[in-house]
Chain A
Amino acid sequence: MDEITHGFFQAIHLILSADPALFEIVWLSLRVSGIALLLSTTLGVPMGAALGLARVWARGLITAFLYTGMGLPPVVVGLFVYLMLSRSGPFGALGWLFTPSAMIVAQVIIAFPLVAGLTMAAVQGVDAALRMQVRSLGATRWQELWAVLREARIGVVAAIVAGFGGIISEVGAVMLVGGNIEGKTRVLTTAIVLNTRTGEFALAIALGVILLALAFVANIAMLRLQGRS
């Protein structure tokens, strides 16, 4: 119990003292997960909307893949990306292994099915009569799609939040493909693992508190966006 209390106060101390090493870890965590979320959203929302709206060929099969992807163990994703990016792998020439780029790739693979799958469900939940109504009012195809997405916005934002939650807290994949290199690929989750292993429980708890606080702030921001849109 003392360690938890101590960790909490240390978190406050670390934040207030503007510890540069801590800010580097926080900044990298936000950068990697932010870019991964942006890419997952850019790909996942249109794909989820298309699957939810259109009569897409092999929709059932694609949906089954997406739902399977939603439950992918991050460590398996990490292993897959590791093999792809390792020197002998098909993308080894990119030289991305143990760099933030590899971590972003892994996180996109984790977040994309969540964003696409939950967006699809949200779009399918919109009243089917809405499309006919907006078309009757003179909407173009794009305006019709936009109207459906707007009506599904609570679910779409929830999909993005779920994607963010899935990657900001993820450790297995980024540990494998990033390598937890200090000053280069160390993020909050991998730093927590390292500090726990070395017995620095207070620091690990402090980093955990900061991670939770970041997730909380990000979710509040998205909920505000949900309300305003």
Chain B
Amino acid sequence: MEPESIYRIENLRKEYNARVVVDIERLNIRAGEILAIVGPSGAGKSTLLRLLNFLEVPTTGQIVYRDYVFDSQAPLDIRRQVTTVFQRPVLLRASVQENVAYGLRLRGERMDERVGDMLARVGLASLARVSATKLSGGEMQRVALARALVIAPTVLLLDEPTANLDPYNVGLIEEIVREQNRTRGTTVVLVTHNVFQAKRLAHRVGLMLAGCLIEVNTASAFFDSPADPRTAAFVRGEMVY
């Protein structure tokens, strides 16, 4: 039986000033999977994530999230099921724990033990009361991840979350994402140009080039027996990016 799709994308097109940035004929994202989208810089991966987070409106085509057909303004209850951790964490000028609690506050919820638990999970419990502006890059990204996870999103979108981080932080963040997916069934869409990270984390991997999805396949098929020669070239590192 075909797994349930949480997103169904058909003929999705996003243009900026008549320049096509995303042009995807068809993509189904399965509930509970980790889907990695790889590709060179400028391929349209981040734009795709913004579309999936309802932060941008498609020029043409359709994004269906569960039974909701995305038009220009997604309802708040739908928007609040999806969140993104961006490549560059943008933290508020506040303490670490206030940053982590921010999404809860937006929902009218109190800062409670969930914040402390989440900080412990990302290894930042001892820095709870420290100003977020005083953290290192890796710590900031872990705060951003904790802030996204504490609101228990149905879909977690990750836009190059470990770019420019040291191996320790990369490993830590990957483990948290893996655990979140395994234990809570969170659907994860990860955008990266690090094929090794995609191989380590994803159930399925897609290659995006010039706004188009070239191939989407299971991780093993994508890396071991790619259907498209461009995928093979990308995996071999022959494609310049």
Contact = CB atoms under 8 A, between A and B. Distances in A.
Interface of A: 127, 129-130, 132-140, 143, 147, 150-151
B227 interface: no
A137 B151 contact: yes
A138 B83 contact: yes
B93 interface: yes
A52 B62 CA distance: 32
Contacts of A129: 86, 88, 90
Given A137-B147, A138-B80, A139-B106, A127 B92 contact: no
Nearest to A143: B106
Interface majority SS (helix, strand, loop, mixed), chain B: mixed
Contacts of B103: 137-138
Interface residue range, chain B: 20 to 34
A137 B148 CA distance: 7
Contacts of A132: 50, 55, 86
Contacts of B90: 127, 129-130, 133
A136 B92 contact: no
A80 B176 CA distance: 65
B151 A138 contact: yes
Given A138-B151, A140-B106, A151-B93, 12 more contacts: A130-B90, A132-B50, A133-B86, A135-B55, A136-B55, A136-B84, A136-B157, A137-B106, A138-B83, A143-B106, A147-B92, A151-B92
A137 B92 contact: no
Nearest to B82: A136
B106 A136 contact: no
Contacts of A136: 53, 55, 82-84, 86, 157
A140 B88 contact: no
Interface string B124-135: 000000000000
